[in-house]
Amino acid sequence: MSTVDERPHEVALAASGTKPPLTQRPGLLSQHLGTALVGAIIGYAIGHWLGNTISSHYAYIVNSGQNAIADTLGLMFGVAGWLLGIGALNYPLAKLVGRQPNSEVEIQGWSKYFRYSTNHKTVGLQYVVGVLLFMFTGGLLAMAIRTELLSPTTHVFSPDTYIKIVSEHGTVMMMMATSIVVGPLGNYLVPLMIGSRRMAFPRIEAFSFWVFVAGYMVIFSALPFGGFPTGWTGYAPLQTQSGPGMVSYLFGFAVIGLGMMAAGFNIAVTIINYRAPGMTWSRVPIFVWSILATAALLTLATPTLFAAGVFGLLDRTVQTAFYVTEHGGSSYLWENLFWFFGHPEVYIMALPGFGIAGEILPVFTRKPLFAYKVGAAGMIGVSLLSFFVWQHHLFQSGINPDMRPLFMLTTELISIPTGFIYLVGMGTMYKAKIRFDLPMLFVMALYFNFLIGGVTGVFLSDVPVNVTVHGGFFVLAHFHYTIMGGLLFAFMAGLYYWLPKMTGRMMNRRIGLWHFWTMFIFFNLTFFPMFIIGLLGQPRRVFTYAKNLQGLNDFSSISAFVLGFSFLIFFFNLVWSLYINPVKAPANPWDSLGLEWQTATPVPAHNFDRIPVVLADPYHYSEVNAPAVADLGPASPPDEPSLSGAPA
């Protein structure tokens, strides 16, 4: 089916009772992960050969023994081959040569997860696996870091290996965190929540996922290239100085950036244009608001990262000097570009978590969401303000020092809208009747953790205090409390909450409780000591430290190992609940009023038989004579719960 006039077409089809063909069996010569890998390898070989052919005789390349041109072209062609191989370019290429592109229909069976799927639910699940894989590899690197830090004098790794592990860990995790909620839950849930059958740009959506995977492979290609020593922040001139692994870092961020822009753009357009009739802005679920704010940040902030990465690649390949101070460039330029993206980026890693919390709270407190409008306005406020604070990462850099009061002010101001999440949460919990099921437990943990993260953020933004804590473990603890303690706990809440809808299986509660308590306790035991370690003078990214800090570091390391183990419990729970001992999930196990829960489980291919007409926001819990959330039309399957009013 063509994408252009699909919506009226679908509506018409559905109304007339016939359905468009949705699925087909895969053909023999179809494209999938395998062909993509082959494409990537061939592309890499061609690119590398080409780079060598055109540039290997240049004196600076001969002298340095490094050919960044070949490495860059190799990776670029590799990514292009990957996209060709998966089929991402079939449609645009056919259009380009004036042919009618083949219609894209969903493949049947599990193999669709390894293909270029334009179904938002398939993409959502692909993202779940993608981000978990990302997280798992990043987590292994974290274990390596904590192993090295067990002792200041006995070393497991060489300083060289160690710094490369740290850098790879940070970069992988930051890249993962940009998409951890927007990718899986944003793609899967946004259309369901706003009463749409699809995303605005399904091909762009598929593209965003497969580019995300490409980015994952590019950033890991740094390891065979010898790694990079700059941390995830990649500061020049160290960046300029270091070896070929840096190409993977710069290009990796550019590639991930493409995926982020694509995802953000697609999701923002979907939310703005594909809301069902009656889904007014004051009825949009708070999760959708958070994703909209995030999508705006993804679309507007990421181009800066992309440009910064490309400038770095140009410096390395064609000897420009964007970041080379001696040649008229500036190392400050990188710092500014990086953080101009980097600060909005930290809210990309916070807002979706707030949205999840806001979505889950009413369901488990059986109360309407408190101060919904303030919450939504806060998210928009945060995303706007986040473009005006980036210099707080550079207070001691000597850049623009007279403007420090301004950036101190903006940074502290941003904690006002950030704090709204507490107003919303505490108001909703007030005089409630709370069911402490797994999703709610993770949300409570988020409130506990993020409080510490947010409050220490205010310490960091006070310039005199920043003098002592900048560049040290205090900062490290701060952002792990916000990102891991906030976003990751929210993601877990979201998974326990929505996986029953996405997979049709309930997650095991008992294993889930083990997961929750080990993760919550050992997260705090791992990262809380880092505040003290930082105050006592330990800089970040060091392989050795003062002898008197060994006790605290060991405590943190051992807790980190248990924290790592808690993720194994989670993976075990996944395998157990989905495959070994599956328990079928009812369509609406949590008695939620959310539109996404009013569909059948598994969600029908077109989400809704008829585009629903939204009648109210989804938070009318415990309300006498509550309005129905939506009119889903006459064709509700028999096992659907009643839609009207509050559940008992």
Partner 1 sequence: MNETHHLRRMTIAWVIVSVVADVLFWFFVGPHVPPGRMTDMATSNQFDFNILFVIALPVLIGVWIYLGYTIVVWSAKRGGPEPVGGEAARTNRTAQVAWITITSVVVLFLAGFGTVELVVNHGSGGGEGPNPVWSPAGATKAEAAALAGTGTWSPHSGQVLPVQVIAQQWKFTYRYPTFGGFETTQLVLPTNTTIVFNVTSLDVTHSFWAYQLGVKADANPLINDVAYTATTQQGQFVVRCSELCGIWHGAMYNYGRVVSQQAFATWAQQTEATNAANTQLLPAFAWTYTPDANGAAGGYYPDGKVTPYSSAEVYGAKQPAS
Residues contributing to the site for ligand HEM (CB under 6 A): 233, 346, 349-350, 392-393, 411, 414-415, 418, 454, 457-458, 460-461, 466, 470, 475, 478-479, 482-483, 486-487
Q: Determine the Cα–Cα distance for residues 445 and 488; give it in Å rounded to an integer.
A: 10
Q: Residue 433: which of Cu ion, ligand HEM, partner 1, none does it interact with, CB under 5 to 8 A by kind?
A: partner 1
402: contact with partner 1 by CB under 8 A: yes
Q: Which is nearer to ligand HEM, 76 or 488 (CB)?
A: 488
Q: Determine the Cα–Cα distance for residues 483 and 477; give it in Å rounded to an integer.
A: 10
Q: Residue 483: which of partner 1, Cu ion, ligand HEM, none does it interact with, CB under 5 to 8 A by kind?
A: ligand HEM
19: contact with partner 1 by CB under 8 A: no
How far does the chain reach from its first CA to its final CA, in angstroms? Answer: 43
Please state the closest distance from residue 414 (CB atom) to ligand HEM, in A: 6
Residue 539, SS3 per DSSP: strand
Pick from 539, 551, 637, 641 the residue near partner 1 by CB under 8 A: 539
Q: What are 300's two structure tokens? A: 């507007």
Q: Cβ-count burial of 513 within 10 angstroms (0-12 exposed, 13-18 middle, 19+ buried)? A: middle
Q: Which is nearer to ligand HEM, 51 or 309 (CB)?
A: 309
Q: Which is nearer to ligand HEM, 277 or 401 (CB)?
A: 401
Q: Which is nearer to ligand HEM, 475 or 507 (CB)?
A: 475
Q: Are the beta carbons of 194 and 268 closer than 8 angstroms?
A: no
Going by C-alpha positions, the residue among 66, 68, 76, 69 that lies closest to residue 51 is: 69
Q: Which is nearer to partner 1, 149 or 175 (CB)?
A: 149
Q: Residue 468: which of ligand HEM, partner 1, Cu ion, none does it interact with, CB under 5 to 8 A by kind?
A: partner 1
Q: Determine the Cα–Cα distance for residues 4 and 304; give it in Å rounded to an integer.
A: 31
Q: Residues 573-602: x/- map of binding to Cu ion (CB under 5 A)?
A: ------------------------------
Q: Which is nearer to Cu ion, 41 or 465 (CB)?
A: 465
Please state the closest distance from residue 555 (CB atom) to partner 1, in A: 19
Q: What are 233's two structure tokens? A: 């922040």
The CA-based dihedral angle spanning residues 335, 340, 341, 345, taken in that order and rounded to the nearest 10 degrees: 110
Residue 265, SS3 per DSSP: helix
Q: Are the beta carbons of 172 and 219 closer than 8 angstroms?
A: yes
Q: Cβ-count burial of 5 within 10 angstroms (0-12 exposed, 13-18 middle, 19+ buried)? A: exposed
Pairing verdict, β 23-24 and 630-631: unpaired
Interface with partner 1: number of residues (CB under 8 A): 97
Q: Determine the Cα–Cα distance for residues 613 and 281; give it in Å rounded to an integer.
A: 14
615: contact with partner 1 by CB under 8 A: no
Within residues 251-290, the interface with Cu ion by CB under 5 A covers none
Within residues 361-400, the interface with partner 1 by CB under 8 A covers 365-374, 395-400
Q: Which is nearer to Cu ion, 217 or 463 (CB)?
A: 463
Q: What are 149's two structure tokens? A: 């830090």
Q: What are 345's two structure tokens? A: 């980026």
Q: Residue 107 pairs with which residues in a beta bridge? A: 24
Within residues 460-479, the interface with partner 1 by CB under 8 A covers 461-468, 470-472
Give the burial string for 346-368 (b: 16+ CB within 10 Å, else e): bbbbbbbbbbbbbbbbbbbbbbb
Q: Which is nearer to ligand HEM, 176 or 475 (CB)?
A: 475
Q: Are the beta carbons of 553 and 533 closer than 8 angstroms?
A: yes
Please state the closest distance from residue 377 (CB atom) to ligand HEM, in A: 17
| Phi, psi angles (nearest 5°) of residue 24 | -150, 165
Pairing verdict, β 106-107 and 23-24: parallel
CA quadruple 403, 405, 409, 411: dihedral sign: positive
Q: Residue 73: which of ligand HEM, partner 1, Cu ion, none does it interact with, CB under 5 to 8 A by kind?
A: none
| Phi, psi angles (nearest 5°) of residue 568 | -65, -40
Q: Residue 367: which of Cu ion, ligand HEM, partner 1, none does it interact with, CB under 5 to 8 A by kind?
A: partner 1
48: contact with Cu ion by CB under 5 A: no
Please state the closest distance from residue 198 (CB atom) to ligand HEM, in A: 30
Q: Do you find a cis peptide bond into 602, omega within 30 degrees of 0?
A: yes
Going by C-alpha positions, the residue among 299, 309, 297, 333 that lies closest to residue 255 is: 309
Q: What are 54's two structure tokens? A: 């055109």
Q: Residues 161-200: x/- map of binding to partner 1 (CB under 8 A)?
A: -xx-------------------------------------
Q: Which is nearer to partner 1, 16 or 63 (CB)?
A: 63
Within residues 213-252, the interface with partner 1 by CB under 8 A covers 229-231, 233, 235-238, 241-242
Pick from 222, 258, 421, 429 the residue near partner 1 by CB under 8 A: 429
280: contact with partner 1 by CB under 8 A: no
Please state the closest distance from residue 627 (CB atom) to partner 1, in A: 11
Q: Residue 58: which of ligand HEM, Cu ion, partner 1, none does it interact with, CB under 5 to 8 A by kind?
A: none
Within residues 328-367, the interface with Cu ion by CB under 5 A covers 343
Q: Which is nearer to ligand HEM, 411 or 607 (CB)?
A: 411
Please state the closest distance from residue 321 (CB atom) to partner 1, in A: 13
Residue ranges binding Cu ion (CB under 5 A): 343
